[in-house]
Amino acid sequence: MQRVLGEILQWTYPADAALSHWLRHHPNLGARDRSEVAEAVYDVLRHLRRYRQFGESGVGPASRRLAILGLAATLGAEALTDGMDAAEAEWLQRVSQIDLATLPRAVRGSIPDWLDERLGAMDSPETLIEALNRQASLDLRVNPLKVERDAMLTELQQGAGRYEPVAMPYSPWGIRMQGRPAINRWPQFENGSIEVQDEGSQLLALLVAPRRGEMIIDFCAGAGGKTLLLGALMRSTGRLYAFDVSAARLARAKPRFARSGLSNVVPVVIDSENDARVKRLAGKAQRVLVDAPCSGIGTLRRNPDLKWRQHPEALAELGQLQERILNSAARCVAPGGRLVYATCSLLAEENEVQAERFLASHPDFERLDAAEILAARLENLKLDGPYVQLRPDVHGTDGFFAAVFERKKKGAAAGAGEAADAGEAEAEMPAEAPAEDAAAGPQDQPD
């Protein structure tokens, strides 16, 4: 535990990658030991600032003190009795009696000062920070092309009842489970009937509102989670472009596309947001989703190391990238078409500030009320528009933001001319194999 923390806290790689690498190089650890190490590591990452402050009063290597605090929190102090000397046991007992309410909020919630300042300006910052420091549940989504949610829920309740599967409160496709089952070994996962996807991410599909036969672009497709749902809601008709600048990410998505049974997905690796293949689709797509690269602050329940890996200077660079991507994606939207901008962030500079800047510089677009669009489908989800902002403490999801824009319609003649050009644009696109033809590679880990 002390050694793996020493590697992760160098921040050379994301915590999940560093932990997986370390576990692969220690194959002699049993399944229970691996699980306990992982749980304790993530506890330390969630509470790192507070644990470091507690550790200042101890003795010995700092990484050992952090390991003791993480293991004590996850296994109980009594489980460490044989492994600690008298001084360590006395120190652990002493720091365990500290009243957390006496600590500054940033220390109590273990967040950096810059993030405390931003979250502190939001409604109910205490409950938000507490929620971000809690472990997230496991959110699954059924493949609506293959199975109904209620039928799958019954199947999981019968076969995996110990994980307490329940229907999600909002998503019509979602199932929420407790614990960490190895679902990548389940037949329902292997045959493409279920995928891992946070409920907030699932709801983005309702904002895109895809229809059969349309041309749709998932501009930052990543590992393909949202692409899969959009394609299924299109009933595998039309054409769904999955753009990403990372060939590795799209390669990991291809086995998922193959399992899903979709035949309308065209993965395309682009050089940048200004790739010539993007420009060829100018004004052709009925719907474009931009799930933009962002700080990921809304996902701290799952990726607690992000609050230590991010910094304000990086946010400024991300903001410039988000603006460029959104501007480029907007050019692909047909007159009367829809553009959805989304992030898994809670920070205004990545969210509503970007949306307002886009509107100010694009008079050919108008904003739709994203909250009203969701309310029309989900009566129990109450949001204040015009944007969607989901929070873990309020909605039980990761932190998600979404804005919806519509391109103003041109005259009928101009619209007819662009429709006639759509076939030419498709003919110019590279001949990537549709998903049904993609060879399924090694089992990937769903995002």
CATH number for 382:
3.40.50.150
Q: 392, 407, 422 — which closes off a domain?
A: 407
If 0-12 CB within 10 Å is exposed, 13-18 middle and 19+ buried, where does residue 375 land?
middle
190 and 288 share a domain?
Answer: no
Indicate whether 446 belongs to any domain. no
Question: What tens digit of pLDDT does each residue of 159-192 get?
Answer: 999 999 999 999 999 999 998 898 999 999 999 9
Same domain for 118 and 141? no
Q: How far apart are CA 207 and CA 374, in angstroms?
A: 7
Judge whether 146 lies within some domain: yes
Per-residue model confidence as pLDDT tens digits over 324-340: 999 999 999 999 999 99
Q: Specify if 151 maps to a domain.
A: yes
Is 364 in the same domain as 268? Answer: yes
- Round the average pLDDT of the chain to a whole number and report it: 90
Are residues 183 and 213 part of one domain? no
Say how far apart CA 168 and CA 175 lie, in whole Å.
5
Which contiguous run of DSSP H or E holds residue 218?
Answer: strand 215-218
**Sequence-separated (6 or more) residues with CB below 8 Å from residue 390:** 200, 203, 298, 397, 398, 399, 400, 401
> Does 1 share its domain with 61?
yes
Same domain, 119 and 53: no
Q: Beta-strand (E) ranges in 313-413?
A: 333-343, 365-368, 388-390, 400-407
Report yes or no: 220 and 292 within 8 Å, Cβ to Cβ. Answer: yes
Specify if 416 maps to a domain.
Answer: no
- Verify that 250 and 264 share a domain, yes or no: yes
Please, are residues 285 and 338 in contact by the beta-carbon 8 Å criterion? no
- Residue 437 lies inside a defined structural domain of this protein: no
**Residue 426 falls inside a structural domain:** no
Looking at the structure, tell me whether residues 350 and 381 fall in a common domain.
yes
* Whether residue 93 is found in the same domain as residue 172: no
Residue 184 domain boundaries: 135-196
- Tokens describing residue 229: 């749902």
Residues acting as catalytic residues = 344
User: Binning pLDDT at 50, 70 and 90, where does residue 411 land?
Assistant: low
Per-residue pLDDT of 328-380, as tens digits, reads: 999 999 999 999 999 999 999 999 999 999 999 999 999 999 999 999 999 89
> Would 421 be classed as within a structural domain?
no
Q: Is residue 393 a known part of a binding site?
A: no
- List Cα–Cα distances, 360 to 353, 354, 363, in angstroms: 11, 10, 7
Q: Is the pLDDT of residue 210 over 80?
A: yes
Instruction: Give the Cα separation of 300 and 128 in Å (integer).
Output: 11
In a domain, 171, yes or no: yes
Structurally, the chain folds into a number of domains equal to: 4
End position of a domain, from candidates 85, 118, 133? 133
Q: Examine the domain organization and report whether 356 and 209 are in the same domain.
A: yes
384 is in an annotated binding site: no
Considering only 2-11, 133-142, 237-246, 419-428, which range has the smallest mean pLDDT? 419-428
Beta strand segments in 86-208, E: 138-142, 166-167, 174-177, 194-196
Pair (129, 140) in one structural domain: no
Chain-centroid distance of CA 215 in Å reads 24
Pick from 196, 223, 247: which residue ends a domain?
196
Domain match, 323 and 358 both? yes
